[in-house]
Amino acid sequence: MKQIYSIIAILISSSTFSQEAKNEDIPYYEIPEYSKEFTAGTMAARMVDALGFRFYWSSEGLTGEDLVYKPNEDVRSTGETIDHILDLSYIIVNSTLNKSNGKVDNSKMTYPDKRKQALINLKTAADILRTSDDISKYKMIFGENEIPFWNQVNGPIADAIWHCGQLASFRRTSGNPINSKVNHFRGTVKQ
């Protein structure tokens, strides 16, 4: 049964990955230029930009085999981890849009669609934060509960960064390491 899922994932992903390579409007190939001023908004935006850059490269060029990989049955697969990061990206962007969070049905989305949406969500949030004078107004809203932005930092942002590390580790283990030209410290890619 596991082999059938692997074959299906490979067939689906091989047709969609070629579309992804042609799509040049996906943000975070490189991290944006840093702000000239240090404010709460520019610092929070830079954290989200760093997450976007790390997610871009930890999820770039994954194969069907990578997406179904998981080290054991007790953990999420790479594909399931990407779904989780997408969910976290909605929480991050929704707080900057002052929108309540709810379950987003992404069951009909392809892997490239999920990846692109997560990156767009992060870019949207970072752009809003970058120009904000008061990031305390960006609460996470779950029904009647409003949770302060502080929890955004140690919650969804840190959690998503953590999971990008998992993606990097999983893909290395499944034989498809991150592009060696990526410089995470500078947020650039050597040409």
Q: Distance from CA of residue 114 to its chain's centroid? A: 9
Q: Are 71 and 173 in contact (CB under 8 A)?
A: yes
Q: What does the domain layout of the chain look like in residue ranges?
A: 2-7+38-189
DSSP the chain: -HHHHHHHHHHHHHHHHHHHHH-TT-S-SSPPPPPSS--HHHHHHHHHHHHHHHHHHHHTT--HHHHH--SSTTS--HHHHHHHHHHHHHHHHHHHTT-B------TT--HHHHHHHHHHHHHHHHHHHHT-S-GGG--EEETTEEE-HHHHIIIIIHHHHHHHHHHHHHHHHTT-PPPTTEETTTTEE--
Res. 3 pLDDT band, cuts 50 70 90: very low
* Percent of the residues in the chain that have a pLDDT greater than 70, as a whole number: 87
Fold of the 2-7+38-189 domain: Four Helix Bundle (Hemerythrin (Met), subunit A) (1.20.120)
Higher pLDDT, 24 or 76: 76
Question: For residue 23, is pLDDT > 70?
Answer: no
The structure tokens listed for 111 are 């892997």
Res. 25 pLDDT band, cuts 50 70 90: confident
User: How many of the other CB atoms lie within 10 Å of CB of 56?
Assistant: 22
**pLDDT, position 2:** 47
In angstroms, the CA 168 to CA 57 distance is: 8
Higher pLDDT, 20 or 140: 140
Question: For residue 22, is pLDDT > 60?
Answer: no
In angstroms, the CA 64 to CA 153 distance is: 32
Q: For the segment 82-111, what is each residue's pLDDT rounded down to a tens digit?
A: 999 999 999 999 999 999 999 999 999 999
